[in-house]
Amino acid sequence: MAFAQRLDRIAGLTEARLATLVGANSQGSEDAGRVPSRLFEALRHATLGGGKRFRPFLVVESAALFGLSEEAALDTAAALECVHCYSLVHDDLPAMDNDTLRRGQPTVWKAFDEWTAILAGDALLTVAFETLSAPSTHPNAEVRLALIAGLSKAAGKDGMVGGQALDLEAERLAESQALTVREILHLQSLKTGALIRFACEAGAMLGEASPDERDALGRYGDAIGRAFQIADDLLDVEGCAETVGKAVSKDAAAGKATLVSLLGIADARAALAQAEHDAVSALTPFGARGNLLIEAARFVSRREH
C-alpha cells in the first residue's frame, strides 16, 4: 500500500479509537452521561475531525517492523495522539501562543473558553496514561511500564513541556538575548522532536526489539523530528492560512528565532534536506521493511500543510 493510503488508513483507525477513548462516539453513551457536557464537546472538538495523525502512523509503522498488527499498536498510537492534541489545546491558549485557528477551525479556547480548554487538555493527558496502563495495550506489564515512562519523559519537563518553556522564554528575551542555531535545535528537539522520537521508539518497545533496533528508530525519530520542525518553520514563512490550516507569519511577528530566521530560506532548506538524509540512513538496518518510514521522511520534508 502506498504511503498516502497508509497514512489515511491509520488516521481513520486512530480517529475511531480516539472517539472511543474520549467517550465521543455517541452522545447517548454511558460515558457521555458521566462527562460534563461542555467538557465532552470540547474533547470532541480537540481530538476529532482533523489532523494527519502522523505520530500514530509512526507508532504503527515502527511496530510493523517487528511483525505487530495495526490493532496491536493502535492503543499506544491513540494515547500518543491524546498527548499531542492536549499540547495543541494548551499551546493555543492566550497565555501561550494565543492562536485562534487550528486545523482550519477555531481553537478550543476560542470555540469554548479558556477554562474549558485547560480542562480539556488536562483530561486528554490523563486519558493517555490511563490507556497505556491497560492490559489491552500490551500483554507484558514491563512493556506497558516502559511506554508510560517513555511518554512521560517525552511529554514532560525533559521533553515537550520543557521545550515550550524554552520557546516562550526565548520570545520574552528576543530583543536582548537572541538564540543561537544550537540553542534553537535543542529547543525544537524537545518541543517537537521528543514526541516524534517517542512515536518511533514506541514501536520498538511494543515489538520488544533489540537495543540496537530501538537505537536506530530513535535516531530516525530525532532526524524526522528535526525535519518536521524546519518544514513547519518554512510553512510559517511561505504558506497561507487556508492551506496550512492555522495562522502563518506568527514567528516573525512575535520576533521568534527559528532556523529560517537565522539561516535564511536557502540554508534552512539545506538543513531540511540533511535531516531527511539522516532519517533515511538510520533505517538502513531494516532494509526494505523500512520503505514506508522512508516515504514518511520524504513526506515531512516536502509537506505543504
pLDDT in tens, the chain (305 residues): 688 999 999 999 999 999 999 874 344 445 545 788 999 999 999 999 878 999 999 999 999 999 999 999 999 999 999 999 999 999 999 999 999 999 889 999 999 999 999 999 999 999 999 999 999 999 999 999 999 999 999 999 999 999 999 998 887 776 557 788 899 999 999 999 999 999 999 999 999 999 999 999 999 999 999 999 999 889 888 865 555 555 555 665 556 678 888 889 999 999 999 999 999 999 999 999 999 999 999 999 887 66
**Residues of 6-30 as b/e, b for ≥16 C-beta within 10 angstroms?**
bbeebbebbbebbbebbbbbeeeee
Instruction: Determine which helix (DSSP H) or strand (DSSP E) holds 1, and give its type and residue range.
Output: none
Burial bucket for residue 162 (CB in 10 Å: 0-12, 13-18, 19+): middle
Written as one string, the DSSP assignment of the chain is --HHHHHHHHHHHHHHHHHHHTT-S-TTSHHHHHS-HHHHHHHHHHHSS----HHHHHHHHHHHTTT--HHHHHHHHHHHHHHHHHHHHHHTSTTTT---EETTEE-HHHHS-HHHHHHHHHHHHHHHHHHHTSTTT-S-HHHHHHHHHHHHHHHSTTTHHHHHHHHHHHHHTTTTSPPPHHHHHHHHHHHTHHHHHHHHHHHHHHTT--HHHHHHHHHHHHHHHHHHHHHHHHHHHH--HHHHSS--SHHHHTT---HHHHH-HHHHHHHHHHHHHHHHHHTGGGGGGGHHHHHHHHHHHH---
Amino acid at 175: E
Q: Which three cell numbers stand for residue 254?
A: 512575535
Q: What is the distance, to the nearest Å, from the Cα of residue 233 to the centroid of all Cα atoms in its chain?
A: 15
Residues 293/216, Cβ–Cβ less than 8 Å: no
pLDDT for position 27: 47
Q: Which three cell numbers stand for residue 2?
A: 502506498
Q: Which three cell numbers stand for residue 19?
A: 472517539
Phi, psi values for residue 211, rounded to 5°: -55, -40
Give the pTM. Answer: 0.90
**Dihedral (CA of 259, 191, 4, 248) sign:** negative
pLDDT for position 26: 43
pLDDT for position 80: 98
Closest to 95 measured CA to CA, from 111, 118, 125, 122: 118
